[in-house]
Amino acid sequence: MRGDELLIKAREAMIAAVHSFNSAGLFFRAELYIVTAIIAWTYLMHAYYKREGVDFRYKKGGVVQKTKHGADKHWELGQCLSHQGCPLEKGVVDNLKFLSEIRHEIEHQSTNRIDDALGAKLQACSINFNDAIKRLFGKEFALEKRLPLALQFVTFDGSQRASLIGQDLPPNVATAMDDFHGRLSAEEQADPKFRYRVAFVPKVAGKASKSDIAVEFVKPGTEEAKGVERVLLKETERPKYLPSEIVAKAKVDGFPHFEMYDHTKLAQQLDARNPGKGYGVSVAGKWYWYEGWLEKVLEKLEEGWTRP
């Protein structure tokens, strides 16, 4: 089917984009990543609109527009993002619009190294794609198993970093970045879906058993966090759902016959309110479910679960 082909191409294109950026010896990694990632997102949006019955071809006066060789002209990514049915969050859209503008600046001309200056945006783009393909098409399309953690083998001191991202940043790229950032609020710029930043801090472990841990999560507000000065991952409030919201989301995801009674029986069957399971929390005497429980419900329904 055409939709399946689009989804496969989207996934393969993003895998190729990440592999290109992580490949040793390449000098235009950011440029290669951006161009290929935009192709990946375009195919993903086409696959989504195809499934939803949205005609993503350009039309003029009701007539489908053609390329000079006679093929239908399909929407580019910008048009996909501006359509009222776009399923992506604002931070994701901002990230893709930013990368699209940078692509226009780099597509037909050589640039100096811009990898470090754009790294946070590229990281966000990859994570956003993985989240989107799982949410829109299912967890079986997740990229985690195909794309292991990439390690950075180079360290920089302040002067080295400045020489890489200061004077060497092309003026046209710097101007495009400043212009785009100027159109966003401070809150929108800080959205991890727009740019995702993690600080890696060298540390000597107190115990030999922990000395080989490559990444450690430091809790905000602790003395250790104050010493690091930049917390690696700040804890955020997790989304919570009432049982009725879980049922409503299940219906939207293709299970119209799933009712509150079914939800109650499934929760009992899986002992889902057991605090050790981490599926939810009691707040002021009312039970709320986390995202993990919604994923578990959908997973069981996809497996064909029915009430006992």
The answer, yes or no, to whether residue 3 has pLDDT greater than 60, is no
Q: Which residue has the tokens 């350009």?
A: 58
Residue 132, both tokens: 């989107």
16-30, 188-202, 255-269: which range is least confident on average? 188-202
Range from 3-17, 203-217, 250-264 carrying the lowest mean pLDDT = 203-217
pLDDT, residue 79, reads 92
The number of domains in the chain is 3
Query: Average pLDDT, stretch 111-125?
Result: 69
Residue numbers of the domain that contains 65: 2-150+164-195
Closest CA to 117 of 154, 159, 170: 170
* pTM of this structure: 0.56
Q: What is the pLDDT of residue 47?
A: 94
Q: Are residues 174 and 204 in the same domain?
A: no
In-domain check, residue 33: yes
Q: Indicate the Cα dihedral angle 27, 30, 31, 35, nearest 10°.
A: 140
Burial degree of 259 (CB within 10 A; 0-12, 13-18, 19+): middle
Cβ–Cβ < 8 Å for 6, 45: no
Mean pLDDT of all residues in the chain? 75
Say if residue 39 is in the same domain as residue 123.
Answer: yes
Is there a single domain that holds both residue 89 and residue 37? Answer: yes
- Exposure of 191 in the CB half-sphere (CA atoms within 13 A): 17
**Report for 93-97, 101-105, 233-237: range of highest mean pLDDT:** 93-97
pLDDT at 173 over 80: no
Any domain includes 155: no
The answer to whether residues 216 and 268 belong to one domain is no
**Are 145 and 178 found together in one domain?**
yes
CB 48 within 8 A of CB 136: yes
Instruction: Write b or e for each residue in 45-82: b if 16 or more Cβ atoms lie within 10 A of its Cβ, otherwise e.
Output: bbbbbbeeebebeeeeeeeeeeeeeeeeebbebeebbe
Instruction: Tell me, yes or no, whether 308 lies in a domain.
Output: no
Distance (Å, whole) CA 219 – CA 225: 7
Distance CA 122, CA 113 (A): 14
Phi, psi of 60 (to 5 degrees): -135, 115
Q: Taking residues 33-40, what's their average pLDDT?
A: 91
- Whether residue 180 is found in the same domain as residue 229: no
Residue 158 lies in a domain: no
What does the longest C-alpha to C-alpha distance in the chain come to? Answer: 71
Q: Are residues 67 and 178 in the same domain?
A: yes
